[in-house]
Amino acid sequence: MILRAKHIDLSTGNILVAVLSQEDATKLDVRGSDRIRIVYDGFEVIASVDVSKKGVKTGEIGLFIETFDKLGIKAGQTVKVFLEDKPKSIATIKKKLLGEKLSKDEIYTLIKEVVRDELTDVELAYFVSACAAHELTMEETCNLTKAMVDFGTRLDLGNGKIVDKHSTGGVPNNRTTMLIVPIVAAAGLTMPKTSSRAITSPAGTADTMEVLAPVMHPVNKIKEIIRKTNACIIWGGAMDLAAADDKMIRVRYPLSLDPEGLILSSIMAKKAAVGSKYVLIDIPLGKDTKVDTKEKAERLKKKFMHLGKELGMKVQVMISDGNQPIGCGIGPALEAKDVLYILKGDKRGPSDLKKKAIYMAGLILKMAKVGDEKTATKILESGLAYEKMREIIREQGGDPDINPDDIIIGKHSYTVKAETTGKIIDINNNNVAKIARIAGAPFDKGAGMQIYVKEGGKVRKGDKLFTVYAESAKKLDFTLEVFNKFPVVNVK
C-alpha cells in the first residue's frame, strides 16, 4: 500500500508509532498495536499501529516525531506500507507472565527489540510486571545484564584500574559520589562515573553536578576528560549506556516497580559498559529507603557479588544506615554547596557526608590495592581532592573557581522551628523528598530544603529545624499548603 506521510508533532517517548485511517487499516487487516513496515527512499522502520477515525484521512499515514525523523521524510511524500509480524518477544513476555524461565536467546532477542524501539510501552510494562510477579533467576539476570551491555554503547578505556560505585538510593542528599570521584582519581585510579538524574528524589548526582559543570558530553569528549583527569561525573543517559534499561526504567516509574532482577541488571550493566574492574555497592537500609529490611539487603548483597563475579568484576557491598538524610542540603544547588564546603575544608561541610565518603573511598582504594581509609582522609584533607575536582569541573566546561557561597539558591524561603523542647526521634526521608520536589527540585536547581538537625539530637523550642527554598513565591506558597500532609521532623 502506498500512503502519503502526515507529520504529527507529538513525541511518543522513542516508541515508533504510525496512525492509519480506519479504511486503510481494514484494507491492510491491521488493528491497534499491530506492526507495519514503512519503507521510504531505501530506509525502513517497524512501527506500531494506531487507528484513527478522524485524525488521519484515507490515503494518509500519520507519523509521530520519532518515526518521522527516523525515516528522514518530509510531509506529503509517499511511503510504502507492508503488514509485519509482531515482535518475537511478545511470546517471550507471555512466557514470563506465566512464570516460566527464559532462555538466553529469548532474553537477547527481547533486549534487541527493546533497543530498536520495536516494543510499545504497554508491552514493556507487561514484561516488567512479569519480572515483579515471577522473580528472575540469577541465570536470567546474568543473561539480561550481558544483553544490555552487548546492545548498548561501551566506553573503552583500556585495561587500567577502573573503579565505580553505586547506591541503591532512597536517602536524600547522600552525595558521596562527588567526593569519592576526586579522592580516588587523585590516588591514580580511573573512575568514569556515569550518574542518573532524579526520578523520584529531589536530585540525582547528575542534577547536582550540573550546578558546577555540564554533564552531557559525546563519548569522544568523555574519553578526553578522563584521559586528562582520570575521572568524570556525567549523565549516563547522554551516552546510551545499557539503552534498553533506560526504556524499562521509564515504564517502571509510574507504579514504582523495582523487581530485584531488573535492579541488579540495571546497575551492573552500566558498570560493565564502562569497563569497571572494581565496584562498590552501597545499600542504604532504612524504613523509608528502597531496601527496608535486613533480609532484603543481605539477599541483594549476595546477588550483587554473584553477578559481579559472572561479569569479571571484583564487587564489594556495604549496607549503610539509611534512616535519615545524609548531609544538610536537599536539592541540586544546596547539595553542590555541601560538596564544595567539604572539598574546601570549610567547617560548614556536613560531617556525616564527609565521613561516609571517606569510608567508601577507602574501601575502593583498598579493593584496588592502592591505599585505605587513611589514604582517602589524607587526600581529602590535604586539598588534593579539591584540586582534582577543579580539574574535572574545568574539563567538563564549568568554572573551577566557583565558590560555594556564590551558588544561587531559591530567593523565596520559609523556616520551620521547633514548637517544643525535646529530642529528634524521626526525620522522614520520603517526606523530605516530597517537600523538596513540591518546592521545585530538581528542575529548579535552587529549590529544596536545608536541614539543621539529625535524629537523636536535642532541640529547644524555637530552634530551627529546616528551611524550604523555592525559586518562585507561588511554588513556596503551594509547598506551605501541603506541609501538614507530609511531616518532616518529629520532636518529642
CA distances from 89 to 83, 117, 119, 416 (A): 18, 12, 8, 53
Is 258 noted as a catalytic residue in this protein? yes
First to last CA, the chain: 73
Neighbour count for residue 395 (Cβ, 10 Å): 21
CA distances from 62 to 66, 246, 342, 385 (A): 12, 27, 54, 54
Residues 239, 194 contacting (CB under 8 angstroms): yes
In this structure, what C-alpha cell is assigned to residue 365?
582504594
Q: How far apart are CA 87 and CA 37, in angstroms?
A: 12
Residues 248, 262 contacting (CB under 8 angstroms): yes
Q: How far apart are CA 332 and CA 210, in angstroms?
A: 8
In this structure, what C-alpha cell is assigned to residue 440?
521545585
Starting from the edge strand earliest in sequence, which strands make up the sheet with 458-459, in order? Answer: 458-459, 422-427, 489-491
DSSP for 448-477, please give it.
EEEE---TT-EE-TT-EEEEEEESSHHHHH
Residues 164, 232 contacting (CB under 8 angstroms): no
Which residues are within 8 A (CB) of 164 and not within 5 positions of it... i.e. 6 or more apart? Answer: 191, 192, 193, 271, 274, 276, 278, 279, 280
| Active-site residue identified among 258, 288, 338, 444 | 258
Q: Indicate the residue type of 334.
A: L
Residue with grid cell 539480561, as numbered in its chain: 144
Neighbour count for residue 303 (Cβ, 10 Å): 18
Residues annotated as catalytic are 258
